């Protein structure tokens, strides 16, 4: 409803960090509807905004949950580029996989003064 649609801009569900925190991880709705079979309901690797995944992972460790499925980064990237609204920020400037030479060769215009 309120939020970004980084995975599929054509559907109503949106990503909302505040809702996700309040609901222990159930606010990543655009991702959930783009990839309904992913048990994590988000691509975020940290549990801080998705405690539901933490609970499921804990259950998996003790054998109460199994056959957990998740989306690969390649599939996510393809979906973001194909149907996303452009708000996805995992790939691009600041990405952990960005080569060091890209940082060094980039021109930063109007650099923020600190």
Residue 107, pLDDT score: 64
- Mean pLDDT, residues 60-67 taken together: 90
Query: What value does the mean pLDDT of the chain take?
Result: 78
Question: Looking at residues 20-40, what average pLDDT do you find?
Answer: 81
Residue 4 has pLDDT above 70, yes or no: yes
Across residues 14-26, what is the average pLDDT? 79
Condensed to tens digits (0 to 9), the pLDDT of residues 76-112 reads: 888 888 888 777 765 556 666 666 776 677 766 556 6
- Residues in Cβ contact with 34 at an 8 Å cutoff, skipping those fewer than 6 apart: 7, 8, 11, 79, 83
- The pLDDT assigned to 86 comes to 75
State the pLDDT confidence band at 64, using cuts at 50, 70 and 90. very high
């Amino acid at each position: 409803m309120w939020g970004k649609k980084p995975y599929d801009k054509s559907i109503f569900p949106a990503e909302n960090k505040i809702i996700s925190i309040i609901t222990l991880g159930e606010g990543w709705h655009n991702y959930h509807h783009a990839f309904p079979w992913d048990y994590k309901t988000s691509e975020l690797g940290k549990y801080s905004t998705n405690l539901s995944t933490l609970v499921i992972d804990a259950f998996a460790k003790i054998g109460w949950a199994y056959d957990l499925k998740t989306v690969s980064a390649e599939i996510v990237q393809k979906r973001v580029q194909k149907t996303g609204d452009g708000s996805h920020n995992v790939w691009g400037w600041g990405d952990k996989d960005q080569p060091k030479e890209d940082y060094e060769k980039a021109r930063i215009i109007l650099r923020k003064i600190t």
